[in-house]
Amino acid sequence: MSTQGYEDELWSERDYVADLYERLDAERERVRAGHRSALLGTGGTLLERDDEVRALAREAKRLDVADNGLCFGRLDTLSGDIAYIGRLGIFDEDRDYEPLLLDWRAPAARPFYVATGANPENMRRRRQFHTRGRRIVDFTDEVFGRPGDGERGDAALLAAVNAPRGPGMRDIVATIQAEQDAIIRLDHPGVLVIEGGPGTGKTVVALHRVAYLLYTQRERMERHGVLVVGPNPSFLNHIGRVLPSLGESDVVFVTTGDLVPGLHVTAEDSPEVTRLKGSLTMLDVLKAAVTDRQRLPEEPVQIALADTTVRIDAPIAEWAQEEARASGLPHNEARKVFIDIVTYVLTERALGKIGRGWLTRADGVEWERMRKDLLKELSVDETFNDTIDALWPVLTPGSLLGSLYASPERLRAAGADASLFRSQGDAWTVADVPLLDELVDLLGRDEAAERAAKLAAEQERSVEERFAAAAISQLTGRADSMDDEDHLYASDLINAGELAERFVERDTRDLVERASADRDWTYRHVVVDEAQELSEMDWRVLMRRCPGRSFTVVGDLAQRRSAAGARTWAHMLEPYVADRWVYRSLSVNYRTPAEIMAIAAAVLAEFAPTVQPPESVRANGFRPWARRVAADELPDAIGEFVRDEAGREGTSVVIGPPGVPGTVPASETKGLEFDAVLVVEPERILADGPRGAAELYVALTRATQRLGVLHLGPLPTALAGLDQS
């Protein structure tokens, strides 16, 4: 294409994209107007109006994210047809909804990502736009089927991976590669495991897969949302903008320490305690701990009633205990069975004692009246209620687990390892969260508390209806004093119940807020990142959150650091989805330059010799270096690195073993990427055994451009390939 021809094409493309933005703005204004109208509307029920408001708010968010890079490509077919590709679909309403812009997830857009010179998918040309805000800066073309034509898709990819890193992960919607696209569009209803080494893009592929599923299955998924589980808050902040940038906002982001609403736990146990708590053997421990709280009286308890005295002894309590356990109900719900049996026996004994006198001649009606009186007496008797609470207490997950940890005797009774003891039982760690969640189901609900809450709500509603009735009556009275015989009564327009509904506090929370606060919320799809770190007990929590078993699981077994984590995917998944999980791998490293990956691969070979490292897509000419310093020189050496990087565009990080000032542990950088990385004291990181080697592997593979190492002792053998300075 001549220079003039290129300029003409560029201006033509700019005009086309400008028209797309005009249509986007018009649609956005229409949705916003509808949203404002719905907020003020009076038609339909409150629930219907709230649904409409939420739907329009979601649509407004979806349209808002398209301002930057709305249209990023174009496909020309062999037959001469043209299709523009972008973040969302735009259609011409005046021409039978002819597509003016194809959503990148649409089937017709797939050739944009998979067409090659060898397999052009009936395409003649792929054009990629480079944009800044709403303006096309330039474009590059890849013409298929002509020897010598440049692979412009690769050029666009290299431009993206070489660009300086910002504060968060970017979407790859404009540069998805064929290997990645096949995984994103995979039609599998169960669990998909995506495994790949550092820099292979497995996380961003999983997030684009979520966007694709929401596009193709929106009706099924939208009302329940998607759960994304990551290793730490820094990682979630890093990836949190990807899905919103693709127009999807109904996504809940949590760590495993956030899986129980109301808890945010970050503290960790020792590796051995983590392994114990993560094992399925804890199920038996928890069940035994619950059973241990279901007691028998050591001595009979006397209950003084108005006309006689009865007692609760071991045989009565044992019978009630057996019946309650046999009911199969959770502990708190089985308490009613326990109480029913005890009260039945006590009332029968009391009636038997009273019946030795005149009541033996009483009729059945009188007998039942006496029984009801006895039940009423028992229900308010302090000794009776205290005894029931001691023999079959109402338990909460926190009170049960906390008291278990704080008592060596209770740990022994539950068959738990003595290493679980801690003086402050409720000093929760991340490994406690799945145990607390498990106890929610083992204990069940406190029905007495729920009845009290329901009664309070009914009383509040009654007060509101009385207030509404009084208001209507006052308005009607005013109307009666009017001379006009054709006046309209307030009660003709609305009744007290309808008016009271207007005073009910509306739940205006969006899906993310409601799902985050509801332990029983179920999701249509769950993404688990760094999944190799999750324990068997963690997986039980997640399976409860997604009964449909629709998961995208992302991980790298070679990077596992948790003693409770996965050694094989089959071990974790097959108990739940024996024949409904598939495995896909990513083999190309888009993040780490070949110079750095060669060093990291040497570390990988020492602790996981059978694992093949991913192949870097590029070399960048920067040789990673190492420098030995004295202990008193280390702070200045770190400061020098920080100052040098502060003058460059992009991001940087200093990674070191715990306790070294100015550094962060490798575990806190998992899934993140930086332009420059300084690794401090690798010999100390490695000293932590296989876990330490995995930590060092993670640290070395965070860099996208430059890597340096500072060491105090001899440089580990695996790092011999570093340039010494």
pLDDT > 80? residue 669:
yes
Asked if residue 197 belongs to a known ligand binding site, the reply is yes
Share the mean pLDDT of the chain: 85
Q: Where are the domains of the chain?
A: 3-145, 185-256+523-580, 271-290+396-443, 294-391, 450-480+488-518, 594-724
Render pLDDT for 328-344 as a digit per residue (tens, 0 to 9): 999 999 999 999 999 99
Asked if residue 257 belongs to a known ligand binding site, the reply is no
pLDDT > 80? residue 57:
no
Determine the pLDDT at residue 152. 40
Render pLDDT for 589-632 as a digit per residue (tens, 0 to 9): 888 899 999 999 999 998 889 888 998 888 888 999 999 999 99
pTM: 0.78
Q: What percent of the chain has pLDDT over 90?
A: 50
User: Span 503-511, mean pLDDT?
Assistant: 65
User: Span 288-307, mean pLDDT?
Assistant: 94
Render pLDDT for 547-589 as a digit per residue (tens, 0 to 9): 999 999 999 998 898 999 999 999 999 999 998 999 999 988 8
Determine the pLDDT at residue 3. 80
The per-residue b/e assignment along 240-267, b for 16 or more CB within 10 angstroms, e otherwise, is bbbbebbbbbbbbbbbbbbbbeeeebee
Asked if residue 203 belongs to a known ligand binding site, the reply is yes
Determine the pLDDT at residue 374. 87
Q: In the beta sheet, which residues pair with residue 76?
A: 82, 125
Closest CA to 69 of 1, 133, 155: 133
Q: Which among 117-121, 489-493, 610-614 has the top mean pLDDT?
A: 610-614
For residue 279, give both structure tokens.
């094992």
Higher pLDDT, 297 or 495: 297
Asked if residue 198 belongs to a known ligand binding site, the reply is yes
Higher pLDDT, 447 or 105: 105
Asked if residue 352 belongs to a known ligand binding site, the reply is no
Asked if residue 199 belongs to a known ligand binding site, the reply is yes
In terms of C-beta distances under 8 Å and separation of at least 24 residues, what long-range contacts does 181-189 make, across chains too?
181/110, 181/113, 181/114, 182/114, 182/584, 183/209, 183/584, 183/586, 184/208, 184/209, 184/212, 185/110, 185/212, 186/582, 186/584, 188/582, 189/550, 189/580
Render pLDDT for 640-664 as a digit per residue (tens, 0 to 9): 999 999 989 889 999 999 889 999 9
Indicate the SS3 state at residue 579.
Answer: coil
Asked if residue 670 belongs to a known ligand binding site, the reply is no
Please state, in angstroms and rounded to a whole number, the distance separating the CA atoms of residues 428 and 265: 7
Backbone phi and psi for residue 504, each to the nearest 5 degrees, phi listed first: -65, 135
Render pLDDT for 710-721 as a digit per residue (tens, 0 to 9): 999 999 999 999
Render pLDDT for 385-444 as a digit per residue (tens, 0 to 9): 999 999 999 999 999 999 999 999 999 999 999 999 999 999 999 999 999 999 999 999
CATH fold of the domain at 594-724: Rossmann fold (3.40.50)
Backbone phi and psi for residue 419, each to the nearest 5 degrees, phi listed first: -70, -10
pLDDT > 80? residue 507:
no
- Fold equal for 185-256+523-580 and 594-724: yes
Indicate the SS3 state at residue 101.
Answer: strand
Instruction: Say if domain 185-256+523-580 classifies as CATH 3.40.50.300.
Output: yes
CA atoms 202, 204, 205, 209: torsion sign: positive
pLDDT band at 297 (very low <50, low <70, confident <90, very high): very high
User: Span 12-35, mean pLDDT?
Assistant: 87
Angle between helices 281-292 and 433-443 (to 10 degrees): 50
